[in-house]
């Protein structure tokens, strides 16, 4: 079967990683509770930044956010390796900017994610992912972002799952909290 995954905040814990970086960079020590309380994708609010400042902060910190020690979610690497070993195809679909595609692929590979170059897509807008997902005829797709998920609500050929996050609770699609649940989903079929 064909499995598609978003990367940031679906396979790896990017926002929380960025939250720690913001604390350091802005010389603050906001508790992690401030992060868990966030109900939007963007993380700048508790630091007292406006949306514009927040977006500047994100872009000027991107390099550090993307390529340092962002941890994968529990079971992510093992699960994808196992799927691949069992003959499934793994596709990555990330809206990380074009100029970060190749490096992101190498960074993930070094962690142990199984990646084939022609099964790694990047640089599209959130709303454009749906076209790639359809074209690839994925059996399963996993993502965290409402802007992406809302384009997939009517999708019947692909089983779309929400990776549960505080900011996507209103999206009415089946959801998983832990990636390990994916194995049960396959067996349930
Ligand atoms: Mg994401």
Residues 141-159, mean pLDDT to the nearest whole number:
95
pLDDT in tens, 156-183: 899 999 999 999 999 999 999 999 999 9
Higher pLDDT, 91 or 154: 91
What are the extents of the domains in the chain? 2-12+72-188, 14-67
Query: Is 70 exceeded by the pLDDT of residue 41?
Result: yes
Q: 31 CA to middle of ligand 1, Å? A: 23
85-90 long-range contacts, Cβ below 8 Å, gap at least 24? 88/1, 88/2, 88/3, 89/1, 89/2, 89/3, 89/119, 90/3, 90/5, 90/114, 90/115, 90/116, 90/119
Q: 187 CA to middle of ligand 1, Å? A: 25
Active site residue 144: no
Element (H, E) at 3: strand 2-5
- What pLDDT sits at residue 189? 63
- What pLDDT sits at residue 188? 80
Q: Which numeric CATH code is attached to 2-12+72-188?
A: 3.40.50.1000
| Alpha-carbon span 37 to 27, nearest angstrom | 20
| Alpha-carbon span 116 to 120, nearest angstrom | 7
pLDDT band, residue 155 (cuts 50/70/90): confident
Q: 163 CA to middle of ligand 1, Å? A: 9
Residues 5-14, mean pLDDT to the nearest whole number:
98
State the chain's mean pLDDT as an integer. 97
Active site residue 6: yes
Q: 28 CA to middle of ligand 1, Å? A: 26
Residue among 8, 9, 143, 144 flagged as catalytic: 8
Residue among 6, 9, 143, 144 flagged as catalytic: 6
Rounded to two decimals, the pTM is 0.96
163 forms beta bridges with 176
Q: 10 CA to middle of ligand 1, Å? A: 5
Quote the percentage of the chain above a pLDDT of 70: 99
Residues 48-53, mean pLDDT to the nearest whole number:
98
Q: 148 CA to middle of ligand 1, Å? A: 9
| Alpha-carbon span 79 to 112, nearest angstrom | 11
């Amino acid at each position: 079967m064909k499995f598609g995954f978003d990367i940031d905040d679906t396979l790896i814990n990017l926002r929380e990683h960025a939250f720690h970086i913001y604390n350091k960079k802005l010389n603050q020590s906001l508790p992690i509770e401030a992060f868990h309380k966030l109900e939007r994708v963007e993380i700048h609010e508790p630091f007292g930044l406006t949306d514009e400042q927040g977006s500047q902060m994100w872009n000027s910190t991107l390099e550090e956010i993307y390529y340092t020690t962002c941890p994968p979610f529990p079971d992510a690497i093992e699960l994808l390796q196992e799927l691949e070993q069992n003959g499934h195809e793994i596709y990555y679909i990330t809206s990380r900017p074009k100029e970060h595609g190749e490096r992101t692929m190498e960074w993930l590979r070094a962690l142990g994610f199984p990646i084939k170059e022609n099964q790694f897509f990047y640089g599209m807008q959130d709303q454009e992912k749906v076209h790639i997902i359809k074209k690839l005829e994925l059996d399963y797709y996993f993502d965290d972002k409402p802007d992406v998920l809302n384009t997939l609500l009517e999708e019947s050929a692909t089983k779309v799952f929400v990776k549960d996050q505080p900011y996507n609770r209103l999206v009415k699609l089946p959801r998983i909290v832990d990636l390990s649940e994916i194995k049960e989903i396959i067996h349930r079929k």
